[in-house]
Structure 1
Amino acid sequence: MSTKKYKVNLSEEEKLHLQAVLRKGKSAARKQTRAHILLKAADGVPDKDIIQALDVSASMVAKTRQRCVEEGPEAALYDRPRPGQRPKLTDRQAAHLIAIACSDAPVGHDHWTLRLLAGKVVELSYASSCSYETIRQLLKKTR
């Protein structure tokens, strides 16, 4: 029988914490699944049995084990922050743009369009470029 590279050893306090997470039932499904994985792994249940019992992938079990050993059981319960592009506009700039959208339309237009507002962002030097889709998403959030 092969030895596990990442063997989960939990203290009684950590086990009680994970059991409390499961008892509450108010946490995210992923968090609860990971708590189940950690408790079963700490009890010495083989990965193939954990996979079958919880209907999860082998990589999820392996990654949860690894994060528990390397970073602790609390870190293994949560997703890491995901990278993403920063917003083009600050909250203050977004508020100003919404105020502009609520004001009278420019001369020659009946109303503000998304493209006009995107052009206004560039004109005000809030961003070097801005798509109308960015404006649409911003306005959708504020309705």
Structure 2
Amino acid sequence: MSRRVRVVLSDGDRRFLESMVRRGEHKARAIARARVLLALDESDGSRVPSRAEAARRCLVSEQTVSRVADKWEATRDAAATVSRKERSSPPREPKVTGDVEVRIIAMACSTPPEGRARWTLRLLERHVKLDDGRPDLDHSTIGVVLKGGGVVGSGENV
């Protein structure tokens, strides 16, 4: 087990965490972390439970208690301790970039192929696959792109 970390919450932090737990509008993990911080709080002078006891009382593992205590020690901020770390970038790059989106919208607004009265999503899907330099996109993805671009439902060629 890691060393003991003293958790002393300010009145504002304590009120924030108590309202977070009481209202239950946050994610379950954030509420569990808030309960752990409240259990480890030494500001009121009461006996602080051991990590094992705090884990049992808060229905989390001892490792969770240790991680919450360590994060509190690093940040000294209740909101930062209970919230999830924001990602700086998505886990993978999106298939539809601005350039691809513009090309799809331009294709959908153009005249449909000979023998067709209008573009369908599946027809657009086939033409996107034939065009070099564009990723293979599913017809549902193309529909989302067109809906986001304001093309679907306009009554024009689509």
Sequence identity of aligned pairs in percent?
Answer: 22
In structure 1, the partner of 2:128 is 117
Q: Tell me the TM-score normalized by structure 1.
A: 0.68
RMSD: 3.3
- Separation (CA, whole Å) in 1 of partners of 2:137 and 2:24: 42
Aligned partner of residue 26 in structure 1, secondary structure: coil
Q: As a proportion of its length, which structure holds more helix?
A: 1
Which letter maps to 1:22? V
Matches within 5 A, 1:24-39: 24-39=23-38
Gaps of 5+ in 1: none
Distance 1:3 1:81, change over 3 A: closer
List aligned pairs for 1:14-33, cutoff 5 A: 14-33=13-32
Which string of whole-angstrom CA distances, capped at 9 and with x for unpartnered residues, describes residues 21-42 of structure 1?
1222222222211110100011
Q: How many residues align?
A: 134
- SS at structure 2 position matched to 1:132: coil
Q: Could you report, residue by residue, the CA deviation over 1:74-107 in whole angstroms, capped at 9, with x for unpaired residues? A: 1011111235224343458536625645766445
Please say which structure displays the higher CA radius of gyration. 2
Q: Which of 127, 131, 136 is the aligned partner of 1:131?
A: 136
Which runs of no fewer than 5 residues in structure 2 stay unpaired? 43-47, 153-158
Contact kept in structure 2, 1:67 and 1:73, CA below 8 Å: no
